[in-house]
Structure 1
Amino acid sequence: MSYDLVVRGKRIMTTAGERPREVGVTAGKIVAIEPLGNGLDGERVLELAEDEVLLPGLVDTHVHVNEPGRTEWEGFASATRAAAAGGVTTIVDMPLNSIPPTVDVGALEVKRKVAADQAFVDVGFWGGAVPGNIGDLRGLHDEGVFGFKCFLLHSGVDEFPPLDADEMERDMAELATFDAVMIVHAEDSRAIEKAPTPQGGRYASFLASRPRGAENLAIAEVIERARWTGARAHVLHVSSSDALPMLATARRDGVRITAETCPHYLTLFAEEIADGATTHKCCPPIREASNRELLWEGLLDGTIDCIVSDHSPSTAELKLLEAGDFGQAWGGVSSLQLGLSLVWSEARRRGVGLAQVVQWMAARPAELVGLTSKGRLALGYDADLVVFAPNEAYVVDPAALHHKNPVTAYAGRSLSGRVRRTILAGHDIDVAAGAAPRGRLLRRGSVERIARSAEVPAPAPEHG
C-alpha cells in the first residue's frame, strides 16, 4: 500500500510516549503507525532528523482574532500564520473584540465568511452569552459553536457586556438542556470596584487592583451555579492558586467543571516585571512567583486541565509602551506563536516531560471542545503534525513573529524548543507571504468542514 505521506523517525510522540515509528497518512488522516524499519511507501516521505520529535498539532481553544471590526489588532491571516509557526494546528476563536461579537447566528455567519479564505490552520468558534441573548444560545449551538463565553465584570469592550451571577445561572440552566459548556472570565466586579485603582507605571499598583480575592469569589460563583444547574462550566485563564482547592473539591463532589491556565502565568512572575512594562498587563494579572509554583502543582495533580494562550493582541499604541501606564493600557499578552517553546522551556527545567506538555496543550484542549479527531497522534486522527526540535535554543525576536503587531512580553527571552515544520491534514503549512491558506472552518460535534469559496490547489509532492 502506498500512502500520501509517510513520516519516519526515532522519536514519534504516540499515545504511549515517544517511539521509533513510521506514520502513514492518507486523505488527511493517520491510517498507519508501524515500527521504524517496516518501510512504508509514500508519495511524499519525510525523514526526521536525529534531534527532531514528531508531535500532534496543538489545539488552542482561547484565541482572540478580533476580525472583523478590530482587524488592526489582529486578523485571521496573521493569527493563523502565527499559530502554524508555533505548532498550533487548530484554534477556537473567542466571541468578543470582533465587531459584531458572536452573540447570534447572523454574527457567526459574518465571522465565518471573513475567516473562510484566510485561515492557515483549522478554526472553530465560541459563541457569546450576554444580557438578553438567552434566546439565541440554542441557535448558535445548532450552528456549531463549541460553547459559550461570558464575563462576570466589564469585558473591556462595550459591545460585549457582562452577566451577573443570576443571569449566568439562567443561561447555564438553558445550556444544560443541550449539554453545552459555559466558559467564564471569572473575576468579581464588586471586589474589583473596592480594590485600589491602578494608576501610572507601578506594576504593584496594577496587581493590587486585580486581587486574588476577586478571582476566588467569581470562581466560587461559577462552581455553585454549575452545581445547582448541572451545567458544564469551564474557568478561563486561572491565575489565582487560591482557587485550586475549591476547584478540586467541586470536581470530587461531581460538579462538571474544568479549568485552564496560560503560558504567561506559568513562565512569568510579578517580582520580575519592571515598572512601566505594559507588555505584561493582562487580566487577571501575572501574580507572584510563589503563586506560579502552585499553578504548576495544580497542573501536575490534574486540577488544571489544559494550557492555552489567551492570545489577546492589540496595536502597539494601545499598549502605551512609551507612557507605561498600567491603568490605561490595553490588557492582553500575545503568545500564540511562542506557547509551546515557553511551556516546554519551563517544564523541562522542572523535570516534566514533553509527553505531558502535549497532553496539556493538544489532547486536553481538544477534549474540552469535543474535537475527537484532534490532539493525538493516533490511528484515525487528523494528520495534524508538528516537527519539533526540543533542544534547539533561540532568543525571542519580536520582528520574527507573525502576529499583526509584534508586541510581546517575551522579547529577548531565551527559549528551548523550536517548531521546524507544521503539517495540517497531511500537507505542510506554508506561512510565507503569498502562500495559499489551507485551513478549514470547524463545527462542533461531527466537525463538519465548511466549503471554501474556491478550492486551494494541492502542493506538489515533496521529499525531505
Structure 2
Amino acid sequence: MIPELDRIIRGGQVVLADGVKQLDIGIKDGRIAKLAPSIPSSFAKEPPIEAKDYVVMPGMVDAHVHFNEPGFRVWEGFASGSASLAAGGCTTYIDMPLNGIPPTINVAALHEKMEAAVFQSAVDYAFWGGLVPGNLEEIEGLAAAGVVGFKAFLSDPGGRGEMAFRQADDVTLYEGMKKIAKLGSILALHAESDVITGKLTARARLESKGSALDYAATRPVIAEEEAVNRALFFAERTGCSLHFVHISSHAALKLINAAKNNSLNVTAETCPHYLALTEEDMVLLGGVAKCAPPLRNEREQAKLWEAVETGSIDFIASDHSPCPTELKVNDDYFAIWGGISGAQSSMELMITEGTVRRGIPLPYIAQMLATEPAKRFGLHPCKGEIAVGADADLVLVDMNTGYTLKKEDLLYRHAHSPYIGKTMSCRIKATFCRGMLIYEMERGIVRTGAGEWIRPCEPMVIVS
C-alpha cells in the first residue's frame, strides 16, 4: 500500500471554526488533506506526531509587523523577526512598508524587500505597499506586483531624511483612495490627527514636560477619533475599502461600527498591548511600553475587551515595532523610540487574557488571530483556518503549562518587551508552517529560511 499522507498529527484538541474536537490531522504536500477521529499510521510516510496533550490552533496571521529590511538589519531583520513569530505561534505575517531603506513605496523598493526576505524568513509572509505624497503613480504597479494593500499615516511617522516614509496629506489621501478603490484594493491607516498631536506635543515641550503620562496626554482619544472620522468621510466619497490599524479607543470604534452599519467596507484591529497593559505600565515599565497611540486607562481597556467579546473589533495584530534596546532608555519619554516588541507573545497573551481569564472560547480567539485577517487580506482559504484544503499551518499549545516570560525566552534581535515578567497560562509547544516543523519549545527554531511569499492558493486533491 502506498501511503496517502506525508504525516499525521494525532489526537490533539483541534480548534475548528465551529468548535474544538479531538481529531487526527492528515497532511499531504504541505496542506491539510484529512481530518478524522482516527487516521491509521499506515496512511502516512512518517511516524505520527502525538498531540493528545495539546490544543491545536491555526497558525496566527499577523497582519501588522515592522521588520527593518532592507537597510536596518541591525534593528530587526526577517531572520530574527520571523523566528520570534514562529516561537509565538505565527505562521504568516504581513510586513509594513515604512521601516526599510528604501520604504516600500514603489515596485523597485518592493523587489528589494522581497530579496531581503527570501531564504531568511522562517514562516510565510506578504507585504504592504505605502501611500505617501508623491507616489500616486506607483499605486497600480505595486498592486500588480502583489502587495496585499496600502498603508498611510495621518500623523507624522517620525522618520527623518530623504528616504523617510511621510504622512499623507488630505489631497494624497483623497486621490490615493480613489486609485485604491478602482483597483479593488484596501487602505490601512494609522489614524491620529497630526494637528492635534503635533500642537499638544509642541506645547508640552515648551513647558519642559517629559514623563510617560505627559507623552500620553499629547495623544488623546480625540486625536484618534478625529482622524478616523475624516478617513471615513473620504471613504464614503471614494468607495475605498479601509482598515484601521491598532485602534485603542471605544470612541473610534463607535465611528467605525457606525460606518459598517452604513455599508462601508471597513475593518479595525487592536493589539495585545492595549488589552494586556494600561497607561500605568508606561510609568512602571518605562520606554518598552511606549507606542502610538499610547496605552489607555483601565476604563478604556475594559471597553476594548467588551468590543472584542461582542465582535466590534475584527481581529488582533501585534504591531511589532522593534528597535535597539538603548533607544528605549531615556529620562525624556518623548525622546524614546515608540513601538512595542511583542510579536512572540500575541497568541499566548490572547489565550491567557481572553480564554483563561475571561472565558472567551478558543475558536473565537482563533478567528481573531488567524481567520479574519486571512480573509480580509486575501490569504484565505489557504491561511487562517484548520480545514481540509488549507495550508497545514498548525500550532501545538500546552494549556497545562504556565510560565513567566524571561528575557532569555525572546528571539528578537534586541531582547526587550513589556511582557517580560508576565505570567502566561499556556505555552507554545511547536509550530508547523505548511506541514514543516519550524519551532519546538525544547530546541527553538529547527528550520530556517523555509518561509515563502504568499501567492494565490491553488486547489488540491482531497483525500476521502
State TM-score, norm by structure 2.
Answer: 0.92
SS in 1 for 2:254: helix
State the distance in 2 between where 1:44 and 1:217 align: 57
Query: Which of 262, 266, 269 is matched with 2:271 structurally?
Result: 262
CA drift at 1:38: 5.9
1:216-257, CA deviations, whole angstroms, 9 ceiling, x for partnerless residues? 000001111111111100001001221121111110000111
Stretches of 4+ aligned residues off by more than 6 angstroms = none
Given the alignment of the two structures, is residue 361 of structure 1 paired with residue 369 of structure 2, yes or no? yes
Aligned AA (2:229) = A
Given the alignment of the two structures, is residue 325 of structure 1 paired with residue 327 of structure 2, yes or no? no
Query: Which of 290, 294, 299 is matched with 1:290 structurally?
Result: 299
**Aligned counterpart, 2:185:** 180
**Aligned counterpart, 1:441:** 453
Asked whether the equivalents of residues 202 and 275 of structure 1 are also in contact (C-alpha less than 8 Å), the reply is: no
Aligned AA (1:368) = R
1:383-406, CA deviations, whole angstroms, 9 ceiling, x for partnerless residues? 111111123211111122111100
Q: 1:22/1:433 Cα in 2 relative to 1: closer, same or farther (>3 Å)?
A: closer
**Aligned counterpart, 1:133:** 135
Equivalent residues, number: 445
Query: Which of 238, 243, 247 is matched with 1:234 structurally?
Result: 243
**Aligned counterpart, 1:414:** 423
CA drift at 1:417: 1.3
Aligned AA (2:359) = G
Query: Which of 315, 319, 323 is matched with 1:306 structurally?
Result: 315
Q: Which moved more, 1:386-395 or 1:171-180?
A: 386-395
CA drift at 1:10: 4.3
CA drift at 1:433: 7.2
**What does 1:244-259 align with in structure 2 at a 5 Å threshold?**
244-259=253-268
State the distance in 1 between where 2:352 and 2:6 align: 34
1:135-161, CA deviations, whole angstroms, 9 ceiling, x for partnerless residues? 000000000000000001111113101
Question: Quick check: which one's helix share is greater?
Answer: 2
Identity %: 37
**Aligned counterpart, 1:274:** 283
**Aligned counterpart, 2:411:** 402
State the distance in 1 between where 2:448 and 2:408 align: 22
**Aligned counterpart, 1:105:** 107
CA drift at 1:49: 4.4
Q: Is there any run of 5+ residues in structure 1 with no aligned partner, and where? A: 449-464
Asked whether the equivalents of residues 437 and 447 of structure 2 are also in contact (C-alpha less than 8 Å), the reply is: no
**Aligned counterpart, 1:171:** 176
State TM-score, norm by structure 1.
Answer: 0.92
Q: Is there any run of 5+ residues in structure 2 with no aligned partner, and where? A: 460-464
State the distance in 2 between where 1:129 and 1:446 align: 27
Aligned AA (2:193) = D
CA drift at 1:270: 1.3
Q: Which moved more, 1:41-50 or 1:15-24?
A: 41-50
State the distance in 1 between where 2:19 and 2:457 align: 28
Aligned AA (1:346) = E
SS in 2 for 1:337: helix
Q: 1:276/1:446 Cα in 2 relative to 1: closer, same or farther (>3 Å)?
A: closer
Asked whether the equivalents of residues 282 and 295 of structure 2 are also in contact (C-alpha less than 8 Å), the reply is: no
SS in 2 for 1:6: strand
State the distance in 1 between where 2:52 and 2:24 align: 14
CA drift at 1:271: 2.9
State the distance in 2 between where 1:271 and 1:436 align: 38
Query: Which of 75, 78, 83 is matched with 1:76 structurally?
Result: 78
Asked whether the equivalents of residues 12 and 53 of structure 2 are also in contact (C-alpha less than 8 Å), the reply is: no
Aligned AA (2:231) = V
CA drift at 1:194: 2.8
State the distance in 1 between where 2:185 and 2:168 align: 17
CA drift at 1:375: 0.4
State the distance in 2 between where 1:10 and 1:342 align: 21
SS in 1 for 2:187: strand
**What does 1:23-38 align with in structure 2 at a 5 Å threshold?**
23-36=25-38
